[in-house]
Structure 1
Amino acid sequence: MNMDDVFVGQLMSTDLHTVSPETLVEEAAQKMLTNDIGSVVVVGSDNQLAGILTTTDFVSVVAERQPKDETPVKTYMTTDVITATAQDSVRDVADAMVEHGFHHMPVVDETEGVIGMISTTDLTAYLSHAQTPSP
């Protein structure tokens, strides 16, 4: 199986953890801890991607000493998000993730908005499975 023939839609997780730009930082942090995830996708009312908030962003939250129970996610989220589509080849996405040092990439659809998330974990799982010779 060639990596160019495998598409993001086949590997992405559709079990999304989203917050709104107005969600308080504290609530987003709780959601990440509860679900043991490194990021939450920030979506608008129409499920269109507004940004992403990752564990790294919490360094700024702590450093700037903003009241976490009053500060919305939009203050710290990254809005310049590089995304994938379900039709992208896994190789292209893997290259982009390595290039930018990302661990997560939201998967978006023009009409539906955010439809999934592809992570380095998904890619690793696929690769280990793909390279195991079948008995």
Structure 2
Amino acid sequence: MDDILVGRLMSTTLHTVSPETLVERAAQKMLANDVGSLVVIESDNQLAGILTTTDFVSIVAERRPKDETPVKTYMTTDVVTASAQDSIRDVSDTMIEHGFHHIPVVDETTGVIGMISSTDLTAYLSHIQTPSPS
């Protein structure tokens, strides 16, 4: 598993919003695309943060008007990222250590290029594992 790199497993279909997107619109986008996170990007495709379903617990608890509150109010800005050249073992360890389910994949010049999720890792493992004997 050490020789498998994030770039091989990451999703390149990204669901993104800007920091100014209203949380109501962000929630609609997450539901419509059946995703647990949105990558928050600046106009130059650079990572600004991440908004996850967990963040919506705070949104609901604080009862702010969802049609008036921008994503930047709740997004995580201190985001742990990966590069396409990172090993999936390292990324898996990071996910377990921090309890993350999604890690944005970034390139120094291009910005956000993908997302690696616990679902991506599980799908990979299910294909390489041999079934247990009956």
Q: TM-score, length-normalised on structure 1?
A: 0.95
Q: Could you list the runs of 4 or more consecutive aligned residues of structure 1 that deviate by over 3 angstroms after TM superposition?
A: none
Q: Confirm whether residue 36 of structure 1 aligns to residue 34 of structure 2.
A: yes
After superposition, give the CA deviation of every residue in 1:40-62 in whole Å (9 maximum; x if it has no partner). Answer: 00000100000000011111111
Cα RMSD over matched residues? 0.9
Q: Is the partner of 1:111 in helix, strand or coil?
A: coil
Give a deviation string over 1:49-105, Cα, whole Å, max 9, x none: 000000111111111111100100000000011000000000000000000000000
1:9 counterpart (2, 7, 19): 7
Counterpart in the other structure of 1:111? 109
* Structure 2 residue matching 1:125: 3-state secondary structure: helix
**Paired AA for residue 20 in structure 1:** S
- In structure 1, how many angstroms separate the alpha carbons of the residues matched to 2:61 and 2:128? 43
- What SS does the aligned partner of 1:32 have? helix
CA distance in 2, matches of 1:74, 1:54: 12
Q: Which amino acid aligns with 2:20?
A: E
Match of 1:63 in 2: 61
Gaps of 5+ in 2: none
The two structures have a TM-score, normalised by structure 2, of: 0.96
Gaps in structure 1 of 5+ consecutive residues: none
The residue number in structure 2 matching 1:76 is 74
What amino acid is aligned across from residue 16 of structure 1 in structure 2? L
What SS is found at the alignment partner of 1:21?
Answer: coil
Q: Secondary structure at the match of 1:5?
A: coil
Aligned residue pairs, count = 131
2:51 is aligned, of 53, 78, 82, to 53
